[in-house]
Structure 1
C-alpha cells in the first residue's frame, strides 16, 4: 500500500482474478446520492487499485449520526436480489483474501442465500479448524426453512465487510473502503459494525433506526449475522474465533 499526496494505491502482484476489479465495482455501486461517501476508485488493474486519499479525524457524535442516516440511504438503494454482485461485475467476489460467492440468479429467500452462499461455503475449512459441521448445519436448516425471514426484508445494497477498520472518519464525515458489496440484509452491515467495536456505535444505530425503522428483534439476530464473518475469521486465523463462532451458532 502506498499513500501519495492525493491518492492511495493498493498493490498485489499475485492478486487472484478480479480481486481489485470487484472491489472497484463495489465502491462505485455503493456510491449513491445521499448515501455514505466512499473512497473514489480512480484506476484499477489486475494488480492494483488507486483511490482518493482520505485524511483521518476523530469520530464525533455529529459524524456518527450522519453516518447512521446515510447508511440507511445506501441500503435503501436496493439490489436486484439477495447475493447479487455489484453492477459492473458478474462473478464471485472476495472478503478479505478469500472468495465470496455471489448468486448468479435470484434465490428464494434471504435465509436460503445466507445458508448456502455465506455459511456452507466455509464449512470444510472451518471443520479443519475444529468446528463440528452439525453446529452450523442446524443453523442452515433453520435458515432454509425461513425461520429468520420476513416478507418486509427486501434485498439491500450492503457493504458486506463493514467492520470498524473499513469505516474511515474524516473531516468531511465517514467514508467507506474495502467493500465486499452485494445484495444482502441491512442487519448484516449493522451486525458487522458491532463485531469489532465501532466508536459511537449507539449514535450510529439510533440515527439509522430513525431514518429507516429496524424490524422488531433485530438486536437478537446480531449474532446470526455475525456468524458469516466469524467463519471467515476461523478460515483465515483459526484460534479464538473457533469458540466465538460455535457460541454464536448455538444461539440459533
Structure 2
C-alpha cells in the first residue's frame, strides 16, 4: 500500500504525488503529476530521518561530493531529489576519490561531532549511533564505536567468548594501533559500496550518509570492506589530493571493525568470525 507514502510526501513537499514504487526497505520512488520524481525514505527509528537530513546538508555544504538535494523531511520521512542511475567508470571513480579527499578536508569540530541540526544520536543503517564528541580519536573510537556494539553482540550471544576477547584486546591496545594523529575529518560515515550511486551524469554520487567527525581512513576502509567498482581508481584519485599516513593499509582492519560489529548486531552471528578476524588482523598490524 503506497497511500501513506504519497500522503507523507504531499505533506512534506506539497504538490500532487500520484504514484510510488519500492526501491528497497522503506525507500520509494515517487512521481508527481507534472512528471517530477523524488525519493522518499522512511526513517528506521526515532530521529533517523532528521539525522540523515542533517547529514545530507552537512556533506553538501562542503561542495565536495555530489549529494541528492534535500526536498524536505519530518520526524518519520525524508524526501530527496531522484538521481538517475548510470554505469560505473574509471573516470567517475577517480573523481570520487578526489571528491572524498576534499570532503574529508572540510573537517569537523571533533571526533564524533554531529552534523549541525542533528538530533542527540545518529543512526548507521538500522543501528543507533552515538555522536559524543571527543578530542582524541583512538580512545573515542574504542569507547564510542567498538565497545557499545561489542556489548550488544555479547548480550545477544552473537559473539563467542573468544571472539569477544580478541575484539576487547583491540580496545585495550587502540592507542598503539591507531597510527599518527590526524585532525577530525568530515565523514560520510556509512560508505559501503551500496551507498555509492553511479549516476547517468557520469559521476559517483553519495547516498544514505551517517555523517560525523571521524578518521578519514574509516570511510576508505568501508569501501574496501564489501568491495567497490574501480576501487583502485578511487584510491588513486584520493591519493593525488591527500596522501595517507604510512601504514594505512595495515590499519584497514582496525577501521573495518566498527561496521563489522554493527553487522553482527543487526544480522547476527554470521558476521561474528569476520569481525574477530578483523580484530586479529588489527592486532598484528
- Deviation per CA, 1:46-74: give whole Å up to 9, x if none: 11100000111110111111111011001
1:164 and 2:190 are equivalent in the alignment: no
- Equivalent in the alignment of 1:193: 223
- Equivalent in the alignment of 1:65: 94
8 Å Cα contact 1:82/1:110 also seen in 2:
yes
1:16-95 mapped onto 2 (5 Å cutoff): 16-95=45-124
1:182 and 2:208 are equivalent in the alignment: no
Q: How far apart are 1:227 and its partner, in Å?
A: 0.3
- Equivalent in the alignment of 1:220: 250
Unaligned runs of 5+ in 1: none
Cα distance between partner residues in 1 of 2:62 and 2:144:
29
Residues 32-41 or 161-170, more deviating: 32-41
Q: How far apart are 1:135 and its partner, in Å?
A: 1.3
1:97-246 mapped onto 2 (5 Å cutoff): 97-103=126-132, 105=133, 107-127=134-154, 128-132=157-161, 133-143=164-174, 145-151=175-181, 153-172=182-201, 173-246=203-276
Cα distance between partner residues in 1 of 2:61 and 2:131:
21
Aligned-residue RMSD, C-alpha: 1.4
- Equivalent in the alignment of 2:39: 8
- Deviation per CA, 1:73-94: give whole Å up to 9, x if none: 0110000010111111251100
Q: How far apart are 1:33 and its partner, in Å?
A: 4.5
Cα distance between partner residues in 2 of 1:46 and 1:149:
39
Which structure: larger Rg?
Answer: 2
The higher-RCO structure (CA 8 Å, 6+ apart) is: 1
Given the superposition, is the C-alpha separation of residues 33 and 124 from structure 1 closer, same or farther in structure 2, using an over 3 Å criterion?
closer
Instruction: Say how many residue pairs are matched.
Output: 246
8 Å Cα contact 2:47/2:76 also seen in 1:
no
Unaligned runs of 5+ in 2: 1-26, 31-35
Q: How far apart are 1:30 and its partner, in Å?
A: 0.6
Q: Secondary structure at the match of 1:9?
A: strand
Residues 233-242 or 155-164, more deviating: 233-242
Q: How far apart are 1:171 and its partner, in Å?
A: 2.2
